[in-house]
Amino acid sequence: MRKLIYSIAIALSFTVVSCQEWEPVMGNQGEPAEPAAASMQANTTIASLKALYQGKPVHIEQDIVIGGQVISSDASGNIYRSLYIQDETGAIEVKIGNSALYNDYKVGQMLYVKCQGLALGNYGGMLQIGMEDPTGEYETAYIDVKSIVASHVFKGPKGTPISPLVVTEAEVKEALKSGYKSPYFGKLVTLNGLTYGNEIFVLIYLDSNADKKASSNRLFLSDSQWGVETWAFSAQQMRKYLVWGVWDSAKIGNSGDYNYGTVRDHLTDLLNNSAAYAVSQYFKMPGGTEIQVRSSGYAKFADTPIDQAILNGAKINLTGILTNYNGAAQFTLIDLDGVKIQ
């Protein structure tokens, strides 16, 4: 009976968040008295936990406790409803499911996760710890019931933030070969000597309430810059790009099915349904390996112009979370302090 009630609570509280976008609740939620740090220890490394995944979701029945320092912050809005923790063996995303997590979980703080009853799953090549998804659409769901979060996630003592690991191009290539098994994905890293790739990728819907898989409802901007010189774009910034006409010639449809006209033909619908969207700005490592710096349209820095020196070819160093999406190296900035011109 207790298990049934537990499952019902999860199902009723679960809200599907698409891989496209979100609108975070930001701001300091007050400064309540800090509770005593949890007195506990990890009995399993993050690498050992991740090794349990063999191609399908894992419902964790063993008494497994992992521990790691918090390496991410959602203060800028570029990470949402999740945080990343890292130990000496690797890193993993914990799908806590709440906003403004930076108020409760400080960068450098030790965090313990009691994994029994949770699920280990894969999204696009990244392993995550969360709940089982009652819809079956994803391999994990958010742990967004407060009582369940309280029984699985425990704050340890605050500590000195982890220094980013400098990762070479050869190591990025090896990580892509290894996929979700790579110890580099999810870690706080620095990549050195990148240059701007003059290319973006973004998927826009003519109507976000219509079928998102229909060719007639999809606009892909890729293979060039398309005039997008900001890290992402808010709904307001998207309207500006549309009005400027820089996307007029872009064709509507999936690859091989561009039979639905151009942006100019659907401009009224696009303007009426404008929304914030994540954008992947492409950068290249010295040997040519592509890194997609993906930023949320709801990030505080979404509409910030990319420094002109970067657009003109200046070399930069990036610090943030190295991720993988279906075999492509992606990079998540914590904030714009992670972008340094050499």
CA distance 291 to 158: 32
Residue 262 has pLDDT above 70, yes or no: yes
- The reply to whether 196 and 231 lie within a common domain is yes
* SS3 assignment for 89-107: CCEEEECCCCCCHHHCCCC
In angstroms, rounded to a whole number, what is the distance separating the alpha carbons of residues 87 and 1? Answer: 37
pLDDT reading at 30 higher than 80: no
Q: How far apart are CA 118 and CA 133, in angstroms?
A: 10
Same domain, 125 and 175: no
Q: Which domain holds residue 120?
A: 40-155
Kindly state whether residues 244 and 325 are assigned to the same domain.
yes
C-alpha span between 5 and 9 (Å, rounded)? 6
Q: Quickly count: other Cβ atoms within 10 Å of residue 337's Cβ.
A: 10
Residue 325, classed as helix, strand or coil, is strand
Cβ(338)–Cβ(75) under 8 Å? Answer: no
Say whether both 325 and 253 belong to one domain: yes
23 confidence band (pLDDT: 50, 70, 90): low
211 and 133 part of one domain: no
Q: Same domain, yes or no, for 201 and 298?
A: yes
- Residue 32 placed within a domain: no
Q: pLDDT for 241-257, tens place per residue? A: 999 999 999 999 999 99
Q: Supply the CATH number for residue 92's domain.
A: 2.40.50.200
With a cut of 90, say whether residue 101 has pLDDT above it. yes
Per the structure, the count of domains in the chain is 2
Q: What is the separation, in whole angstroms, between the first and last Cα of the chain?
A: 60
**Max alpha carbon distance in the chain (Å)?**
63
Give yes or no: residues 53 and 116 share one domain.
yes
Domain match, 48 and 70 both? yes
H helices, E strands: number in the chain: 7, 16
Give the tens place of pLDDT for each residue, 37-53: 767 899 999 999 999 99
Distance CA 20, CA 47 (A): 28
Tokens of 62: 């063993």
Residue 146's contacts (CB-CB under 8 Å, 6 or more residues apart) are: none
Asked if residue 20 has pLDDT above 50, the reply is no
* pLDDT in the model for residue 179: 95
pLDDT category at 27 given cuts 50, 70, 90 is low
Write down which residue in 115, 139, 155 finishes a domain.
Answer: 155
Average pLDDT over residues 11-31: 49
The token pair that represents 214 in the structure block: 């229909």
Work out the average pLDDT over 187-203.
98
Beta bridge partners of 83: 94
